[in-house]
Chain A
């Protein structure tokens, strides 16, 4: 099994499309960091304007933690695009290339192949998010230094510098779970067709449709909304609350895990019963 996973990772990381995500993050994050370096204090002043009339702020508020949080917040919505680009190709890419014929005529079961590809897809997701963490948090800390984290949501929360790093670690762990759900969805679509464009468009279409349903003020849809995985993707933000809303996080994580499991089982069922005609 390990050999199979290694071979799948080799295939993923030998394709140029894999690096689109890494490249996009490597370009976007420094641009935001440079812009913030020159204009960030203005943004922070504007955000804290109301409070500054009543409180006196000291220290470096425009720090690496603030940037790390802001970047995660603003880029998180775009990461699914980068995930489906690779995940949508995991199975459909083999069908397009006709390489199922050389893989599945070896002593490897379809169950093993699906597992290896699924795990490789998760590992790609993990590596992309770690890359994002390294640049958005690591590089920001190097450029801007550390300090208290100002979290601007419905209310403004200020977290002590020594109370932040663990929150980032758990937030990224949750983000991996979120993006693994997106990966599993694209993987499922990838098992249905024989070209990788379909799964990419299909997965993104589902995400967009679910997001639209989430915000539609239609009463009959209210019962469905808690079960839409898109409503749980950004719950990593809860780790920056005070106190942390663990029941909400666990509930959302459970919904996401349920989706990942469901997508995996459906993919397995489809793939093991499929005739390889490509």
Chain B
């Protein structure tokens, strides 16, 4: 990823009366990042996103986007951002097409017809282009939300819980779309979600926020591969492997054993030792997949264990 900062946040604080929703948040998003923004409900994710989009005024702190201060260059910055903020709401009495037309025109797209058709096709709403949005299901509205966020071909895409209400196919489509936008089109994506698996699969960097303050920021790889891991060994014979480990200390670390896969809870340094033991007993290993569940990590962070 590039070292060019796309979002740079310093000491960002928002107070609503006595409640501190966001507390001296520091955050950096670099060009090309898929940046995961995680936190439990009420952690301050949406307030932060609203501040990034100038919907909410910070009590203190600074936000720079594309190297420019948001407070002074708001319109120029927003021209280059597409966003979904919480659930996707539209003018229900207008068609999907009319909604997009309004948004396209106020975004400065003079002849938006072609772009609207393309974007509706992308989110599979071409057939319903002229139906009123009030007849749409939640999933369809969410897809239309993605359409409006991408309408003006933004460089930075801010997605607040984009998979909410989508069926499994829709969730996969959003994931694929994020991959494509990031890898093929070089977009920078800032995504908040409570679906941790989603973030784990798409983000390269993440920040976990709790009670308005940043808890951890780093690359997904760093955060996932520290301390204890979930390690899966793919073996040729499950029976032989289990017999080998039967009276050893390893059996107490075994989490599951099925389909020729053994899953252990291990420290990283223990992997070579266990591998060696299996190999010595003629168990053929076809793969070792170390993995740290972000969910465990996320829970620890939010419960204050870390």
A109 at the interface (CB under 8 A from B): yes
A101 at the interface (CB under 8 A from B): yes
**Mask: chain A, 82-125; 1 = CB below 8 Å from B; 0 = not:** 00000000000000011111111111110000000000000000
Give the chain B neighbours of A273 by CB distance below 8 A.
Answer: 57
**Known A4-B106, A105-B78, A109-B75: A277·B56 in contact at CB below 8 Å:** yes
**Known A99-B91, A105-B78, A107-B108: A10·B98 in contact at CB below 8 Å:** yes
Give the chain B neighbours of A7 by CB distance below 8 A.
Answer: 102, 105-106
**Known A10-B98, A102-B148, A275-B55: A107·B91 in contact at CB below 8 Å:** no
**Mask: chain B, 73-104; 1 = CB below 8 Å from A; 0 = not:** 01110110101011111111110001000110
B79/A100 in contact, CB under 8 A: no
- Bound CA span A54–B50, Å: 77
Q: Which of B50, B78, B102, B148: most chain A Cβ within 10 A? A: B102
B103/A102 in contact, CB under 8 A: yes
Residue of B nearest to A4 (CB): B106
B54 at the interface (CB under 8 A from A): yes
B56/A276 in contact, CB under 8 A: yes
A99/B89 in contact, CB under 8 A: yes
B230 at the interface (CB under 8 A from A): no
- Bound CA span A179–B234, Å: 78
B266 at the interface (CB under 8 A from A): no
Residue of A nearest to B50 (CB): A276
- Bound CA span A127–B105, Å: 24
**B contact residues, range:** 20 to 34
B213 at the interface (CB under 8 A from A): no
Give the chain A neighbours of B78 by CB distance below 8 A.
Answer: 105-107
Interface SS, B side: loop
- B55 partner, pick from A6, A15, A100, beta carbons under 8 A: A100
A14 at the interface (CB under 8 A from B): yes
CB distance from A85 to the nearest CB of B (A): 15
Q: Interface of A with B (CB < 8 Å)?
A: 3-4, 6-7, 10-11, 14-16, 97-109, 273, 275-277
Residue of A nearest to B74 (CB): A109
Q: Interface of B with A (CB < 8 Å)?
A: 50, 53-57, 74-76, 78-79, 81, 83, 85-94, 98, 102-103, 105-108, 148
A11/B102 in contact, CB under 8 A: yes
**Known A105-B78, A276-B55: A14·B105 in contact at CB below 8 Å:** no
Listed A/B pairs (12) with beta-carbon separation below 8 Å = A14-B94, A15-B93, A97-B89, A98-B86, A99-B91, A101-B55, A105-B54, A105-B78, A107-B78, A107-B79, A273-B57, A275-B56
B50/A10 in contact, CB under 8 A: no
CB distance from A96 to the nearest CB of B (A): 10
- Bound CA span A72–B89, Å: 41
Residue of B nearest to A17 (CB): B93
A98/B55 in contact, CB under 8 A: no
Give the chain B neighbours of A101 by CB distance below 8 A.
Answer: 55, 85-86, 89
Give the chain B neighbours of A11 by CB distance below 8 A.
Answer: 91, 94, 102
CB distance from B136 to the nearest CB of A (A): 14
- Bound CA span A236–B255, Å: 86
CB distance from B40 to the nearest CB of A (A): 19
Residue of A nearest to B158 (CB): A105
Give the chain A neighbours of B88 by CB distance below 8 A.
Answer: 102
- Bound CA span A172–B79, Å: 42
CB distance from B85 to the nearest CB of A (A): 4
B87/A3 in contact, CB under 8 A: no
Residue of A nearest to B16 (CB): A275
Give the chain A neighbours of B85 by CB distance below 8 A.
Answer: 101, 105
Q: Which of A99, A104, A107: most chain B Cβ within 10 A? A: A107
- B53 partner, pick from A4, A6, A105, beta carbons under 8 A: A105
Residue of B nearest to A273 (CB): B57
CB distance from B260 to the nearest CB of A (A): 49
CB distance from A186 to the nearest CB of B (A): 20
Q: Which of B76, B86, B103, B148: most chain A Cβ within 10 A? A: B103
B57/A106 in contact, CB under 8 A: no
B107/A106 in contact, CB under 8 A: yes
- Bound CA span A116–B121, Å: 31
- Bound CA span A15–B85, Å: 25
Give the chain B neighbours of A277 by CB distance below 8 A.
Answer: 50, 56
- B106 partner, pick from A15, A97, A106, A276, beta carbons under 8 A: A106
Q: A99-B89, A103-B106, A105-B83 are in contact. List 6 more A-B contacts (CB 8 A).
A: A4-B106, A11-B94, A97-B92, A105-B53, A106-B78, A276-B55
CB distance from B14 to the nearest CB of A (A): 9
Give the chain A neighbours of B92 by CB distance below 8 A.
Answer: 97
Residue of B nearest to A113 (CB): B106
- Bound CA span A105–B105, Å: 13
CB distance from A70 to the nearest CB of B (A): 37
A-B interface, 5 closest residue pairs, ranked by CB to CB distance from nearest:
A98-B89, A276-B55, A107-B75, A107-B79, A101-B85
**Known A7-B102, A7-B106: A104·B94 in contact at CB below 8 Å:** no
